[in-house]
Structure 1
Amino acid sequence: MPIIGYWLSNTFQKMGKNLYWFMLAEVDSKNNTCFRSRWYIDKRIVVLFTILMCPVILFCATYMLVFGIFPGISYPKALAKDVPEVNIHRALVYSMSPNTTANIVPHSNLHRDLSPHSFKIVCYYNFPGSKNSLQVENLQASLCTHISVAFASISNNSIYLEKSQIDTVQKLVNLKSLNKNLKILVSVGGAGNDGEFPKMVLNHANRKSFIRSVIEYVKEYNIDGVDLDWEFPNEDQEHDKMQKVHFTQLLSEFRKSIEHQPNHPFLLTVAVAAPDFIVQNSYDVSYMNEYVDFVNLMSYDYHYFTKETPFTGYNSPLYASENERYYLATLNINYSANYWNMMGMDRKKIVIGLPTYGHSFRLMNPKNNGLYAPASGYGKLGALGFVDYPVVCQFLNTNRVTPVFDMDTKSSYASKYYEWISFDNQQSLTYKAEYIRDNGFGGAMVYSLNSDDWKGACKQGEFPLVESVRKVLEAGKVDVEEKLVGR
């Protein structure tokens, strides 16, 4: 220690002398007098400067890393490219809070048939984009009972697929050689891709042309059905207030066409909204029940950041939380499914939607990070707030974050500093699949295969979310078969 003290003392004396000579050089430079200044080449000064600055540099680097100055480290985005950006329309419409005071969860016994039946697992599959996106070759033929490929469009009142999309459909149909019970459907429309529906349903001639084109696809490509995803009939009432009626007429005419060609039967399904105010505005539910094979209830996107809803919330809660009242108490799977049943849809025809993606929010205050915490925008994760499950896993692992599981709503969320994510995992989807099984609904619809962990990056196996749903409903199917044999 005395040696170090002596060295520091000597060094500071040296610095003082050199600074003195440097100042003299500056002062006498006006008199053209040149003094020799050596302060800047002294090695001991350089060493001392380095010793003093290292802690400062390390502190700054650590601070920037921890507080997310480098988003690529704390907020991975690389795997979120396949999130369909058109889904933002549905999420925004769901966030429109109507003037309602509903706070009673419907528990109707209408169509409450709990007799044994096989549960459907309807999986939406988005057409692949880049080579890194989910390809048909990566799919498992036994994972789902139905695969609905999305999305075909409407052109000149006819269903339309590009050649690359037709190639994908044909590959999907070939999966039936591995699973003879697998059904392949083509979904038409989708949020942001359904602009031709109003024109097509407007009159009988247009509807007939569309139905004829679907029948041609069924025959030519050996598909098993069509799924109509119009989001949503009667949304814009300024142009045509009769869209709700015209859509029901389309379904009726579809059913008649199916009955008139017994050699080429096909399934008719509809992707439908979950919030009750859209259901009332868009659908004649009791009539639909007569015409469709089943409906795919889009029971997700209940909470999403908008300027009108600047707070966190669960993407797809099973139940309302104990503090939710009025309209907020209706934004959950239990309310929506029972509401559809109460309005006249057979319970076995209600296939409940479960998401494999989550929603991210940017908190206004990191310390206020619970449910309904104030948010200022989308989170950094994903695209427009939509986050694939592998990205969620990477975020949790990178930041060593433990998710919070809400037993009231059977939903998960996680937060770190300003980032807040609502998502489903194996635990939450197991609860929801058990709900579907125990309440006698038709099955589960999963949106989508593309946003599940199909590469196994989460180290939970391939397609872990869909697999967790399948295990529960497959177990229910075994129970059904045993009951049928016992009769």
Structure 2
Amino acid sequence: MKFTTILASAACAVLFSFNGVSASPINLQTRAAAANSGVVVGYFPNWLYQDFLPTKINFKKYTHIYYAFALQVAGNVPIWEDPEIMNEDIEYGFPALVKAAKAAGTQVTISVGGWTGSTKFSPMAASAAGRAEFIKWNVDLVTKFDLAGVDLDWEYPNGAGPGCNTVSWNDVDNLLLLVKELRVALDKASPSKYKEITMAVRIVPWGGPEDATDVSPFVPYVDRFHVMTFDVNGNWEPVSGPNSPFRVEKGKGFQKGFVEGIEYWNKAGVPFNKLAGGVAFYGRSQTLTGSTAPTTQYSPSSLTSPLGDSDDGPWTNPYCPADSSAASGQWKYSNLRSQGVLTTPVTAASPWVRHFDDITQTPWLYNPTNKVYLTYDDPVSVGVKTSWAVEKGLAGVFAWSIEQDNGELVEAMQAVRNGVIPPVSSTTTASTSASSSSPVTTTTTTTASSSGTPLPGGKCDGVAAFNAATAYNTGKQVTYNGGLFKAQWWTQGETPSSTGPDWAAWTYVGAC
């Protein structure tokens, strides 16, 4: 995750030994399988402090909250940039988050590393003593707070990351030793309650000049690989492009998107049910340099980012000073809505012009007054990724990061929890021409299934009235304001509407 961003019972006692490390991968897979599906993970940045308290999290929308990050930037033991976050009495602290999450039935995992917190993974992982210290710190934390497990977010093995990471030719070999030894330690410390190991990984493995083609040795020990299918294109290139494309356009921009990245990891040896796809709750802007309004997402652009949303500004990586910028150009989705750029999830306000790319399945905006191109995700594009995740049998989806959403994006991810593919728009109309300055709406048409037809005679006999306190599963019907509605996926508290967008939980069947 860039710019300060960036599974139950034992069934087999067969032990395998690799490089002198004893572990039980078959046992691991048996114990973990039931918990490694329908996952919706939200990363929670621990530098938010009072700006976004744990009490603001809608925990019921997430199966896991990943607390990010403990930093691996000195010695063999992770550190907290602000040790106060471990204080029991601090309302923005880690103990408060754990308590609130558990009360809602949501699991918490500690995430180590990130874009700024990976500078010293390599020397720690290079020695048995270093790995032992690192593992003890993590296992102690997992045990103390009864966490779900540990997430390793090394950005990146064999790569310099922001430019200051210590790098060794055998980083990947040492990372494998680390996860094997961590698996043994977690099993020993918690023999009756399984603890996960997950990894946040680059869109192609790992981080050096060569993309790995076989990562299968990791599979028995890692429960999920969170593929960071965002930061795909940006102002590090002189041509604009989508931040998080569903699919890529051949020959345009970086040639890996959500589909291509996940399929690459699968072909490299990771089963689909151990892969989770990344969803960006933020967008990126670039200043275009052409003289005419763009007709595609790929246009000549400046390498200097324009100012993004109201939270954007100068930033310097505290552990790599050369990694700095006057502005990131980033826009939180919640700020796109609250600052009026998007007046609805699919309507842009003047002078912004909204487009939707049918190949990458992503919306994008253009502002003709300052030539700013803005790439982001909305409920439509997130729904496309969620549907594919369900269709391919992925472990689930994850988001960076939860405070950047107003609730509309995570709602579009909920279908993955039930394993039901939500209805897909049969048509998408293009936005108005790029020279238009009027608000633009992308309209969609949803094909109704036979199970969504009105009851005989148009009556709703026997169908219960909607109750905001009731949880409804996919396919459940309710009556509301004289209409019959059907749930497209699991939902609770969302009021049915006959004029709701296609990404809403309820679809209108007809009048009673």
Give TM-score scaled by structure 2 length. 0.65
- Could you tell me how far apart the structure 2 residues matched to 1:437 and 1:410 are? 17
CA distance in 2 between partners of 1:169 and 1:282 (Å) = 36
Secondary structure of 2:4's partner?
A: helix
Gaps of 5+ in 2: 7-28, 88-92, 313-327, 344-348, 422-472, 476-512
**CA distances 1:280-323 after superposition (whole Å, capped 9, x unpaired):** 557961111111111111000100112xx2111001111122xx
2:114 to 190, 199, 202: 190
Which one of the candidate residues 204, 208, 213 is aligned to 2:132? 208
SS at 1:118 equivalent: coil
1:466 matches 2:419 = no
SS of the aligned residue for 1:430 comes to helix
Q: CA deviation at 1:473?
A: 3.7
User: What is the one-letter code of the residue matched to 1:298?
Assistant: M
Shift of 1:116: 12
- Helix, strand or coil: the match of 1:292? coil
8 Å contact 1:357–1:386 — kept in the other structure?
yes
- Paired residues of 2:366 and 2:372 also in contact (CA < 8 A): yes
Higher helix share: 1
Matched, 1:380 2:298: no
Q: Which has the larger radius of gyration?
A: 1
Contact 1:235–1:282 under 8 Å retained in 2: no
Secondary structure in 2 aligned to 1:229?
strand
CA contact (8 A) 1:349 1:441 kept: yes
Contact 1:234 1:244 in 2 (8 A): yes
Counterparts in 2 of 1:184 and 1:143: CA distance versus 1, 3 Å: same
Asked if structure 2 preserves the Cα contact closer than 8 Å seen for 1:122 and 1:446, the reply is yes
Cα distance 1:239–1:137, how it changes in 2: closer, same or farther (>3 A)? closer
Q: Match of 2:247, SS?
A: coil
Aligned to 1:362: 287
- Matched with 1:157 is 76
- Residue of structure 2 aligned with 1:170, choices 70, 95, 107: 95
Partner-residue secondary structure (3-state), 1:399: coil
| Residue 252 to residue 282, structure 1, CA distance change in 2 (3 Å) | farther
Unpaired runs of 5+ in structure 1?
1-82, 89-110, 454-462, 481-487
SS of equivalent residue, structure 2 residue 71: strand
- Aligned residues of 1:128 and 1:135 also touching (Cα < 8 A): no
| Correspondence 1:213-292 to 2 at 5 A | 213-236=137-160, 239-261=167-189, 262-263=191-192, 265-275=194-204, 278=207, 280-281=210-211, 285-292=215-222
- 1:405 is aligned to 356
**Cα 1:366/1:390, change in 2 over 3 Å:** farther
Alignment of 1:14-413 (within 5 A): 85-87=3-5, 118-131=37-50, 133-154=51-72, 155-161=74-80, 162-167=82-87, 168-180=93-105, 182-236=106-160, 239-261=167-189, 262-263=191-192, 265-275=194-204, 278=207, 280-281=210-211, 285-306=215-236, 309-321=237-249, 324-325=250-251, 328=253, 330-365=255-290, 367-369=292-294, 370-376=296-302, 377-382=304-309, 383=312, 384-393=328-337, 394-397=340-343, 399-413=350-364
The structure-2 alpha-carbon separation of the partners of 1:362 and 1:178, relative to structure 1 and needing over 3 Å to count, comes to same
CA shift in 2, pair 1:145/1:366, >3 Å: farther
Aligned length: 358
Please, what is the CA RMSD of the aligned residues?
2.9
1:449 is aligned with what amino acid? I
Q: 2:373 aligns with which of 420, 423, 437?
A: 420
Contact 2:38 / 2:419 at 8 angstroms: preserved in 1? no
> Contact conserved, 2:157 with 2:206, CA < 8 A, in 1?
no
Q: Secondary structure at the match of 1:158?
A: coil
What TM-score, normalized by structure 1, do the two folds share? Answer: 0.68
State the one-letter code of the partner of 1:165. Answer: I
User: Separation in 2 of the partners of 1:353 and 1:425?
Assistant: 14
- Residue deviations 1:55-103 (CA, integer Å, cap 9, x gap): xxxxxxxxxxxxxxxxxxxxxxxxxxxx973347xxxxxxxxxxxxxxx
Superposed CA offset, 1:137-180 (max 9, x none): 10112110010011111343123334332242211211244323
Deviation by residue 1:240-296 (Cα, 9 ceiling, x = unmatched): 211111111101111122233304542111100003674855796111111111111
2: CA distance between counterparts of 1:243 and 1:220? 30
Q: Percent identity?
A: 23
C-alpha distance in structure 1 between counterparts of 2:186 and 2:120, whole Å: 23
Decide whether the 8 Å contact of 1:226 with 1:269 is kept in 2: yes
Paired amino acid for 1:119:
G
Q: Aligned to 2:176, what secondary structure does the other structure show?
A: helix
The answer to whether the Cα contact below 8 Å between 1:426 and 1:464 also exists between their aligned partners in 2 is yes
Q: Is the 8 A contact 1:218 1:264 kept in 2?
A: no
